Amino acid sequence: MKLAPFPSPRVLVLQWEAGEIKREELQRLMALHQAAILEEAEEERANPVASYVDRMMNKRMAKKLINAHGEANMRELCLALSEVPEFLPAAFLWNADHWDLPLHCFIRNKREPIFRIREVFVRSDRAMMLVEHGSSKKKETERERFHFERHWRGEMKVVKREVV
């Protein structure tokens, strides 16, 4: 799946509800997201062994994160990341609050574009997350540290973003 050069579906819906974009534009951009997802499903079907190995690695990382920090915390932080402007992995994280999707669906260890969570620090009112994303080549991978604080409505929001 290639990362979309436009906002994630979650942000698109918020823009539509606020009247910033028209319904036709929302539908056109959502169709592009759908096409990218279907293209990735075809790639998985074409190479089932690599897909299986990647899925097992993603499940292992998700299990470690859940055991260390709790699934609700990880989903909340991923959802907050999906709202960061110009953060390309938001295309994968926009529905992290849907509990019917396993957490490992949002992690991408080997398949480009990757999204790995390297460090997490979570407290009730603040959090920090170190993520790697982009290319699977180590020298081309981007590392960013995000700092979160709890918003007045009780949601985690990104307050600081720094390249590591």
Report yes or no on 4 lying in a domain. no
User: What mean pLDDT is reported for the chain?
Assistant: 89
Percent of the chain at pLDDT > 90 equals 55
Q: What are the distances in angstroms from CA 119 to CA 20, 65, 66?
A: 36, 9, 13
pLDDT tens digits for range 140-163: 889 999 999 998 888 999 999 999
Residue 77's pLDDT band, with cuts at 50, 70 and 90, is very high
Report yes or no on 78 lying in a domain. yes
User: Which residue range is the domain that position 23 belongs to?
Assistant: 9-163
pLDDT tens digits for range 18-51: 999 999 999 999 998 888 888 888 988 998 998 8
Q: 2-11, 51-60, 152-161: which has the minimum mean pLDDT? A: 2-11
For the chain, the maximum distance between any two Cα atoms, rounded to a whole number of angstroms, is: 47
Check residue 41 and give its pLDDT: 86
* Residue 43 three-state SS: helix
Q: What are the distances in angstroms from CA 20 to CA 26, 60, 80, 121, 138?
A: 10, 40, 21, 35, 39
Q: What's the start-to-end Cα distance of the chain, in Å?
A: 25
Given a cut of 90, whether residue 90 has pLDDT beyond it is no
Report yes or no on 112 lying in a domain. yes
pLDDT tens digits for range 110-119: 888 889 999 9
Tokens representing 125 are 């009112």
Report yes or no on 1 lying in a domain. no
Given a cut of 60, whether residue 1 has pLDDT beyond it is no
Q: How many domains does the chain have?
A: 1
- Residue 73, phi then psi, degrees to nearest 5: -65, -45
Report yes or no on 114 lying in a domain. yes
